A = this chain, B = another copy of it.
Amino acid sequence: MFFASDNWAGAHPAIAESLVREASGYASAYGTSDLDRRIESEFNTIFEREVSVFFVGTGTAANSLALASVARAGGVTFCHFDAHVNADEGGAPEYLTHASRLYPVEGENGKLDPEALKTAVSRFDVPSVHQGRPMAITMTQATEAGTIYTLDEIAEIGIIAKSRRLPLHMDGARFANALVALDCTPAEMTWKRGVDILSFGATKNGCWCAEAIVFFNPEMAEEMPYIRKRSAQLFSKTRFVSAQLDAYLKDGLWLDLARHANQVADRLRAGLSASNRARLAWNTDSNEVFAVVGRDAAKAAEAQGAKFYEWLPPRENPHLVGENEVLIRLVTSFASTDEDVDRFLELL
């Protein structure tokens, strides 16, 4: 009953085995090996166009360096108030962009509200060195609230970005979970809807440590080799990332793992909806489930070994949680089982 986070799971056996398989032999370092090249080109296939790919060590690094690639003096990036970059990355996005700023925008259920976004961007319409100037928009798919932007919603943000000539970044820490939920292609969920740069996360979905920054327009990536090195994110034995992604991407394993996590979450959602001891806090479509449960029930479940985090009520709905209730977040992963869910629901 480990629902604390998808990063509490380890690695999928196929991925770990791939590391064993690639352990012997020599390969040139710093991203220049044949395997590295092959995996990079696999991204071209996945995204149906020539892309530029950069492996980095953490999701925070992926987001931060994606923004660093478009950073400029006085730059402001628009993000959702609860976006990971704004709420959970310890200031790395600012630090690794030499102090560009994040401008938090509201929106229900973790999604950027297009009108609020337009209003925020338009505050910078009159050029002013005092205010600074827009430099990027970043959105999270799936969001921190477990929700998923529809393709139309992505396109809407994409149009706002294009109309302002702002690059659009997508934090895809849970990219695969969103993808299988929308049942669309990676291309459809990204550049075909206006996304310019993607943080492609694989760690949460069954890898040990595999994050990539994907530029859909390779010209935008020209500075990246130096940016990555300067931020100490260039691994020497890059092969160990490529080996993970080799197994991850082979035969659609990544989609299977995400599908599994989402399905276990579906079971959880169904069970919570049916329960009279709990209710869904809001609808989610990914592997994250938010529920309001009695404080006692939550404690009891924890006492029995269930792992999850208590969560702050959303700013737009502070009265969501009753007096003796708590809001909890439950995250499933490739490793979660139906049994975990059933036992947890029983406990509640």
Contact = CB atoms under 8 A, between A and B. Distances in A.
Interface of A: 2, 4-5, 7-13, 15-17, 19-20, 22-30, 56-61, 64-65, 68, 72-76, 87-92, 94-102, 123, 129-133, 203-204, 208-209, 223, 225-237, 239-240, 307, 312, 335
A340 B192 CA distance: 51
Contacts of A129: 30, 90, 225-226, 228-229, 234
Contact of A240 (B11, B25, B27, B90): B11
Nearest to A92: B232
Most buried by B among A19, A59, A235: A19
B90 A229 contact: yes
Which residue among A99, A229, A235 has the maximum number of chain B CB atoms within 10 Å of its CB? A229
11 contacts: A4-B29, A8-B26, A10-B25, A23-B208, A58-B235, A73-B227, A90-B132, A91-B132, A91-B229, A98-B99, A129-B234
Given A87-B131, A88-B130, A209-B235, A20 B27 contact: no
Contacts of A99: 91, 94-95, 97-99, 230
Copies of the chain in the assembly: 4
A59 B236 contact: yes
B23 A10 contact: yes
Given A74-B230, A94-B101, A5 B24 contact: no
Nearest to A241: B209
Given A15-B23, A73-B226, A91-B230, 19 more contacts: A4-B28, A8-B26, A10-B24, A11-B237, A11-B240, A13-B24, A26-B307, A58-B233, A60-B229, A74-B90, A94-B94, A98-B98, A123-B312, A129-B226, A130-B229, A133-B226, A203-B237, A231-B232, A232-B233
Contacts of A7: 29-30, 236-237
A7 B26 CA distance: 9
Given A74-B230, A209-B209, A98 B95 contact: yes
Contact of A58 (B27, B64, B74, B236): B236
A72 B20 CA distance: 39
Contact of A209 (B23, B68, B237): B237
Contacts of A28: 4, 8
B74 A229 contact: yes
A154 to B, nearest CB: 25
A61 B237 contact: no
A225 B132 CA distance: 10
**Most chain B CB neighbours (cut-off 10 Å) among A19, A227, A230:** A230
A23 B16 CA distance: 7
Contacts of A203: 236-237
Contacts of A225: 129
